[in-house]
């Protein structure tokens, strides 16, 4: 997946004129097989790869950032493998176990994300950022306490979000917002492999984010309140600002809905060794969702119908 993303980004940048010339064979192989990003990621633009050879910095802040990223990775590894099952046993309420399985899966993703931060910074990436050596991959605080599903998608994998936005979403935007969103999630599904489970989650997430986006945009316009999927600027035209109590409560409510959807979508990513070895199929996915009565899909459908009615 990472190799494909790098190859596609170089091709698009060369076609759009972002690169003055194609890289040499040695530069191309060095970028694609860069030891700091080819295993855990993250995806980095070709220009950032070239920058690591321009007066590299090796200092105490560089070492500190690597150490912090590794410690955060180990912390989320323990959360994924130990803590969640200690706090929420198998005989708990089904929605609690759904939240537990989803949290365990998300924590394993955070483990890989922070480990990829450490490997990339160890290789020299991030030395031209502000603040220095800031190379965010995932930001758990914006996912575990979300404002919206759109925010979750952005902070789940920031480099991949940027790649999809630049090379897929903007390219297909002339076809319309809904087509661009579905195209983006379809390409993401292909990059992750032809797997029904991942495709079902990603395409469901695409439909959810679209329904959430259009509903909150219409409600923000009708009530003049800062309840969009992203925080508003301080000089926005809304009458009711972010710090108003009613606006805070509404945003908290939408955040709770986003957490509900995350529990539902992540429930099938369990820790079953047998299923992990054999691979997840469509029957496993549908069985997991059927236990929860497809509640999230029905809720998302109701959200879109409500948008059409107001």
Catalytic residues, by residue number, are 192
CA distances from 123 to 52, 61, 74, 278 (A): 8, 14, 20, 35
CA distance 91 to 85: 11
How far apart are the C-alpha atoms of 257 and 123, rounded to whole Å?
39
**Is the separation of the CB atoms in 9 and 43 below 8 Å?**
yes
Using CA atoms, how far residue 5 sits from 10, 60, 122, 159, 188, in Å, is 9, 32, 21, 11, 10
Please tell me the distance from the alpha carbon of residue 133 to that of residue 117, in angstroms, as a whole number: 10
Q: What is the largest CA-CA distance in the chain?
A: 60
CA distances from 65 to 61, 121, 124, 136, 150 (A): 6, 8, 12, 11, 28
Q: What is the CA radius of gyration of the chain?
A: 21
- Residue 230's Cβ-side half-sphere holds a number of Cα atoms within 13 Å equal to 8
Neighbours of 259 (CB within 10 A): 18
Q: At what angle do helices 60-78 and 94-122 cross, to 10 degrees?
A: 160
Q: Distance from first CA to last CA of the chain, Å, rounded?
A: 42
* SS3 of residue 77 by DSSP: helix
């Amino acid at each position: 997946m990472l190799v494909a993303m790098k190859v596609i980004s170089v091709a698009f940048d060369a076609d759009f004129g972002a690169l003055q010339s194609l890289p040499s064979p040695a530069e191309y192989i060095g970028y694609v097989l860069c030891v700091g990003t080819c295993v855990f990621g993250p995806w980095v633009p070709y220009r950032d790869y070239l920058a690591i050879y321009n007066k590299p910095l090796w200092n105490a802040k560089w070492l500190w950032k690597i150490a912090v990223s590794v410690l955060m990775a180990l912390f989320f590894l323990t959360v994924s493998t130990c803590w969640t099952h200690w706090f929420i046993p198998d005989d708990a309420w089904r929605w609690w176990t759904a939240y537990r399985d989803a949290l365990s899966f998300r924590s394993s993703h955070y483990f890989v994300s922070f480990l990829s931060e450490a490997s990339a910074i160890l290789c020299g990436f991030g030395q031209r950022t502000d603040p220095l050596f800031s190379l965010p991959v995932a930001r758990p605080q914006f996912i575990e306490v979300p404002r919206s599903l759109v925010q979750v998608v952005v902070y789940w994998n920031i480099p991949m979000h940027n790649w999809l936005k630049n090379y897929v979403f903007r390219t297909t935007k002339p076809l319309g917002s809904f087509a661009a969103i579905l195209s983006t999630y379809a390409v993401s599904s292909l990059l992750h492999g032809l797997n029904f489970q991942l495709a079902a989650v990603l395409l469901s997430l695409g439909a959810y984010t679209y329904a959430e986006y259009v509903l909150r945009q219409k409600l923000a316009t009708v009530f003049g309140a800062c309840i969009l999927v992203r925080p508003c600027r301080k000089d926005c035209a809304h009458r009711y600002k972010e710090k108003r109590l009613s606006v805070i409560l509404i945003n908290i409510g939408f955040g709770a809905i986003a957490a509900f959807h995350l529990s539902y979508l992540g429930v099938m990513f369990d820790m079953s060794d047998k299923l992990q070895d054999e691979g997840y199929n469509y029957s496993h996915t549908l069985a997991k969702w059927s236990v929860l009565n497809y509640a999230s899909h029905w809720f998302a459908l109701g959200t879109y119908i409500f948008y059409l009615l107001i």
